[in-house]
Structure 1
Amino acid sequence: MTAATDARDRSVRIGVQVQPQHAHYAKIRDTVSELEDLGVDILFNWDHFYPLSGAADGEHYESWTMLAAWAEQTSRVEIGALVNCNSYRNADLQADMARTIDNISDGRFIFGTGAGWFERDYDEYGYEFGTPGTRIKALGEALPRIEERWTKLNPAPVRDIPILIGGGGEKKTLRIVAQHADVWHSFSDPATLEHKLGVLDEHCVVVGRDPHEIEISIELRRQSDADVEALHGLGARLFTLGISGPDYDLEPVRRWLAWRDRTNA
């Protein structure tokens, strides 16, 4: 985990998930450049092998190799997956890949991860799908290995790589968040977030963690302006917006960047 910063003292950040679907890579590359120039704080992709919307067999690209390209292409923005699927790669390999991209980017990599859920990925690529319980258990077992591997690699990561964990399961996922996450990401509305923050607080007490060390990240999709203000009032500071090919409409991004700047002023 990174050095703790009280979440209440954080500025609002905007992350954009450039979904790697239904577009040629040249369009994705140009979109990444434009988003960095616009002032986005973080650029994400996702870790799937097939589109999640639109034509099921449409154009699509792999996450980690793309992130390495983004690390070379960009100079300011942080980068990561929203989120990596723990099931698809050995834990120590994940750590080494993350360290490598962190070095390529000179310390701008965020290790976003989760337990996995998209069954087609598993079936088509030969991974055991299992159950939500087995996948979450595997994530909990992988994270200590990843953190330990980071201490052994030469050269080391440029910085203490932030860990972002996605998911809202109250008994297991939020316990893992309390133990390992620098950022917790969910799709919560205000009422749900308020409840789950209470659950997260309880897990933090058990593991001996200050919950205010954990940055709260929320997906903007389907949130009203009033909801976003309420979520901010509850402590959310990272807000993410997914955009899809083939066109990658940036107007919603511009609107939320303007809101960020007004809120942080």
Structure 2
Amino acid sequence: MPLLDTPVRLGVQIAPQHSSYATIRDAVSLLEDMGVDILFNWDHFFPLSGDPEGTHFEAWTMLAAWAEQTERVEFGCLVNCNSYRNADLQADMARTVDHISAKGGETGRFIFGTGAGWFERDYDEYGYEFGTPGTRLKDLAAGMERIERRWDALNPEPTRRIPVLIGGKGEQKTLRLVARHADIWHSFTEGEELARKLDVLASWGEKEERDLSQLVVSNELKGRDEAKADELFAAGVRLFTLGISGPELDFDLVRRWLAWRDAKNG
């Protein structure tokens, strides 16, 4: 599959856990000033690491605050859980956050990252039906159809065609959804597995009759060094994501990867 050759971008995911919101707010401002390209949070209700009863904040209300706070950086959720909110509501929330982020006549900066959900505690404690991976993916497929229809019907419409990021690597369902809907495909795959997944995506693109030449391939930097990042770059990855979490947010790690990005972009 021909891959989009764009400048490398760095996305930093600020985990909304084990920090005060004041700390997160300050981190958003600092990371934008440092030159990070995209800021992400995640859509969960409890910490995913550390103390399971530690502090934690909700994703979408935070994204609305980021939309108002920031001026340049793109932002979104890595990733929204389709199960937690009505699909048409998700579309309306995304459109609204997109408009909040538009400053001085510019278009919005929101990226709609989404997925089928997986963290069973969220479902159990908030009263959602957990189902199975298959039923959750089926719901995501139906949800994306509704979201795209709702974006076309809203008044006002989004300020731009909101980019869609879909994460995952399942070849029969997830990658078909990527081929059908996504502008960005995010995964943790590498090496021969990544090459195979890209071949599968190309095949789904043909079946869906969708040109995937503009698809951005995204991957994670956690636990990887510059040599591994170089390999991912050579394989076609152009968006690299890095997670940081409280109680001590590691900005030096971000600076290290910003330097690598800038060297790659010449």
Cα distance, 1:86 vs. partner? 0.1
Q: Which amino acid aligns with 1:39?
A: G
CA distance in 1, matches of 2:224, 2:63: 28
Q: Which amino acid aligns with 2:214?
A: E
Matched, 1:30 2:30: no
Cα distance, 1:7 vs. partner? 4.5
- 1:16–1:240 CA contact under 8 A, matched in 2: yes
Q: Which amino acid aligns with 2:65?
A: A
Matches within 5 A, 1:154-165: 154-165=155-166
Moved over 4 A (4+): none
Cα distance, 1:227 vs. partner? 1.7
Determine what percentage of the aligned residue pairs are the same residue: 65
Q: Which amino acid aligns with 2:90?
A: Q
Matched, 1:93 2:93: no
Matched, 1:53 2:54: no
CA distance in 2, matches of 1:238, 1:121: 28
Aligned to 1:17: 13
Cα distance, 1:210 vs. partner? 2.4
- 2:43–2:80 CA contact under 8 A, matched in 1: yes
- 1:189–1:223 CA contact under 8 A, matched in 2: no
CA distance in 2, matches of 1:257, 1:7: 23
CA distance in 2, matches of 1:184, 1:40: 19
Aligned to 1:152: 153
CA distance in 2, matches of 1:196, 1:223: 20
Cα distance, 1:211 vs. partner? 2.5
Please state whether the residue corresponding to 1:16 is helix, strand or coil.
Answer: strand
Matched, 1:193 2:189: no
Per-residue Cα deviation, 1:65-99 (whole angstroms, up to 9, x for no partner):
00000001100000100000000000000000000
CA distance in 2, matches of 1:73, 1:45: 15
CA distance in 2, matches of 1:109, 1:191: 32
- 2:226–2:260 CA contact under 8 A, matched in 1: no
CA distance in 2, matches of 1:209, 1:255: 37
Give the structure-2-normalised TM-score: 0.96
Q: Which amino acid aligns with 1:71?
A: A
Aligned to 1:242: 243
Matches within 5 A, 1:215-230: 215-230=216-231
Q: Which amino acid aligns with 1:232?
A: F
Give the structure-1-normalised TM-score: 0.96
Q: Which amino acid aligns with 1:117?
A: W
- 1:7–1:237 CA contact under 8 A, matched in 2: no
- Of 86-95 and 211-220, more deviation after overlay is shown by 211-220
CA distance in 1, matches of 2:193, 2:27: 33
CA distance in 2, matches of 1:205, 1:152: 28
Aligned to 2:211: 210
Matches within 5 A, 1:122-161: 122-161=123-162
- 1:175–1:203 CA contact under 8 A, matched in 2: yes
5+ long unaligned stretches in structure 1: 1-5
Matched, 1:83 2:84: no
Cα distance, 1:244 vs. partner? 0.2
